Amino acid sequence: MNEQLIDNLVDQVVAKINEERGFLVEASGRHVHLSQEHIDALFGKGYQLTIDKYLSQPGQYAAKERVTILGPKGALHNVVILGPARSASQVEISATDALPLGVKAPVRESGDIEGTPGIVLMNGSKTVTLEKGLIVAKRHVHVSAADAIKMNVAQGDIVKVRINSEQRSLIFDDVVIRVSDKFVTAMHIDYDEANACSFKKGTRGYIVK
């Protein structure tokens, strides 16, 4: 067997392994996570969010309730709330969203909100002023514990992810791996990143180390 044939076979095996390790990519629009304290302030004491639809991650859902995000220069209306309630409120926007608001939002992992800017949330005449919690979410891959073993990745790893598309295939660098036995394996990117790779429903990603 000549060397070129061996190389071709190796390439085919590697391609097959990568294909099997592929995962769904999901584009996440601007949204808000609220503590129960802030749900109460915006919707009334003891208020429970109304489930509109469940998301890919177990137990997570988009609520029917919406809020307005108010910045120094402008507002974003009809912004979805994701449930259930969290211990601390957090607002996730894209870098493009930050422009009409007149704010600068740092790129952070979800939950890492110390030192981040605050923002005002509105529901009609009711308002909540967050002292911190405005971020652009760092692109990441939720990985189930079982898939982490198959994919040879661990919590906190930083990887590259290849996205194949008809017009804008690219490789995202600086993607954080988040592992839990409660996760369903899927990559989350914001709409700026989705536009950059011509995202469409069913798009898949492949880790490139």
Q: How many CB atoms lie within 10 A of CB 205?
A: 26
CA distance 42 to 123: 6
**What pTM was estimated for this model as a whole?**
0.87
Confidence of residue 192 (pLDDT cuts 50, 70, 90): very high
Q: What is the mean pLDDT of the chain?
A: 93
Q: How many CB atoms lie within 10 A of CB 160?
A: 14
* Lowest-confidence region among 14-23, 56-65, 163-172: 14-23
Q: Exposure of 7 by Cβ count < 10 A (0-12 exposed, 13-18 middle, 19+ buried)?
A: exposed
| Helix-strand-coil split of the chain, %, nearest 5 | 20, 40, 35
Residue 59 per-residue DSSP state = T
At residue 4, the pLDDT reads 67
Residue 203 has pLDDT above 80, yes or no: yes
Say yes or no: 123 and 147 in one domain: no
| Residues 134, 127 contacting (CB under 8 angstroms) | no
CA distance 17 to 56: 24
Say yes or no: 32 and 130 in one domain: yes
Say yes or no: 133 and 146 in one domain: no
From 137, 157, 184, the end of a domain falls on 137
Taking only the tens place, the pLDDT of each residue in 84-111 is 999 999 999 999 999 999 999 999 999 9
Number of structural domains in the chain: 2
Say yes or no: 82 and 109 in one domain: yes
Say yes or no: 88 and 110 in one domain: yes
CA distance 53 to 148: 27
Say yes or no: 33 and 133 in one domain: yes
At residue 166, the pLDDT reads 86
Q: Exposure of 36 by Cβ count < 10 A (0-12 exposed, 13-18 middle, 19+ buried)?
A: middle
Residue 144: give the domain boundaries.
139-208
How far does the chain reach from its first CA to its final CA, in angstroms? 29
Residue 114 has pLDDT above 90, yes or no: yes
Question: Is the bond preceding residue 72 a cis peptide, omega within 30 degrees?
Answer: no
* Lowest-confidence region among 12-21, 40-49, 196-205: 12-21
What is the percent of the chain where pLDDT is above 90?
A: 88
